[in-house]
């Protein structure tokens, strides 16, 4: 099942905003959380359509960013977050 990608200024701005978060300086885990929150807002506003693949990727990202109280996320979580965010960025052209 294929979906028609979202079009228009709001969709373009949502994609660009995500990619800015992807390239932001700072800790990869914090950037990933900000990027995911921005995507959720874009889905909620209707600027972008949530595809099944994006939904799966965001679920994977959430699992990579899970932590217990007081636990710091580092190396593997940051690496996983960067990998998943790049995949999400590619998929956004279909959202």
CA distance 21 to 71: 23
Helix axes 28-45, 75-91, angle to 10 degrees: 30
In a domain, 77, yes or no: yes
In a domain, 2, yes or no: no
Q: How many domains does the chain have?
A: 1
Q: Is the pLDDT of residue 95 over 60?
A: yes
In a domain, 1, yes or no: no
In a domain, 3, yes or no: no
Give the domain range for residue 83: 9-94
Q: Is the pLDDT of residue 52 over 80?
A: yes
CA distance 56 to 60: 6
- Contacts with 58 (C-beta within 8 Å, 6 or more apart), sequence order: 36, 39, 40, 88
pLDDT digits (tens, 9 = 90+) for 58-71: 998 888 877 655 55
In a domain, 28, yes or no: yes
43 contacts 19 by C-beta, under 8 angstroms: no
From 34, 7, 9, select the one nearest 22 (Cα to Cα): 34
Q: Is the pLDDT of residue 2 over 80?
A: no
């Amino acid at each position: 099942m294929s979906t028609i990608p979202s079009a228009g200024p709001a969709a373009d701005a949502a994609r660009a905003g995500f990619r800015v978060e992807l390239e932001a300086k700072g800790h990869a885990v914090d950037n990933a959380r900000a990027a995911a929150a921005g995507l959720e807002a874009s889905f909620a506003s209707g600027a972008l359509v949530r595809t099944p693949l994006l939904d799966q990727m965001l679920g994977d990202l959430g699992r990579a960013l899970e932590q217990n109280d007081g636990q710091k996320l580092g190396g593997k979580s940051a690496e996983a977050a960067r990998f998943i965010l790049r995949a999400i960025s590619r998929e956004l052209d279909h959202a």
